[in-house]
Amino acid sequence: MGRPLILLFVWSFTFLLCPAVSHARDGSEASTKRPDELITDRPDFTESASTVPALRLQLEAGIQYTHQDLLDEAAPAGHTGNYDANSVSAPSLLLRFGVSDWAELRLGVPDISYESITGADDNIIFGEVSLGAKFATSLSDKLNVGVIPFVDVGTETGDVGGGFIAAAAVDLTANVGLGVNAGVTTFEDGLDERQWEWRGSAALGIGLSDDLSAFIETYALIPDGDFNLFVDTGFTYLVAHYVQLDAYLGTQVPDAEEIFAGTGISVLF
């Protein structure tokens, strides 16, 4: 299936779903929730250990800017020395539909990224379609656990990958929560070889008021033969009972070779 057909299918499915269907928290906070509570998987990297309420649709979307300082060995042909790469990606759209109190279906709509690299032509990149599910339960009034299996399909290449994420979240105090993830993803590289990438994260969420929360997080991406560590922080603000805005900023450590920032919105229908 070509890229235009894949994109048409995904966006059509998105718009068909949309008409069908307290305190805001992100993936760093956990525990039991009210049936109408808005708990999001953005803006942090850590996925929440909670599902969307049954027969409700939740939309999460945003835009991100990324700056990378790239080394000479990855430079475009005919270019020497270190160089910069800048990109803007949107809509980062995730649709989550609750099918029961403990399960949800998930559709990740492909991002469109505009990329500008020193010494090379600007480029537009289409991301992947992601299809998955989340299953979650409360082990106590302070501890939630969940699992997220998913499949990714490249809209430009048709390559199929996928993975699995285990999530846990615990309320440390009335206003402080800790979320952790561990998982693995498999994908095909540009040489049609199967690669594996391990991932792990920990996010600390702090409720500053009934409507405003903050988080600080660290996460690692571990592809074959490499280790990439990041830190980020941000805020979420509940502007209405079912509408949350967010903003975040992060960097790769220790050398800040990658810096990223973004903002977004989440709505529970």
Confidence of residue 69 (pLDDT cuts 50, 70, 90): confident
- High-pLDDT (> 90) share of the chain, %: 68
CATH architecture of 3-268: Beta Barrel (2.40)
At 142-190, the pLDDT tens digits run 999 999 999 999 888 878 999 999 999 999 999 999 999 999 999 877 6
What are the CA-CA distances from residue 94 to residues 18, 62, 119, 225, 264 (Å)?
A: 12, 10, 34, 30, 11
Q: What are the tens digits of pLDDT across the range 240-261?
A: 999 999 999 999 999 888 999 9
Closest alpha carbon to 30 in 17, 20, 41, 21? 41
Domain ranges of the chain: 3-268
Q: What is the pLDDT of residue 17?
A: 37
Residue 35 in tokens: 């049936």
For residue 4, give the H/E element and its range: helix 3-17
pLDDT higher than threshold 90 for residue 43: yes
Is this model's pTM higher than 0.75 or not?
yes
pLDDT at 155: 86
- Per-residue pLDDT for 268 more than 80? yes
pLDDT digits (tens, 9 = 90+) for 130-150: 999 999 999 999 999 999 999
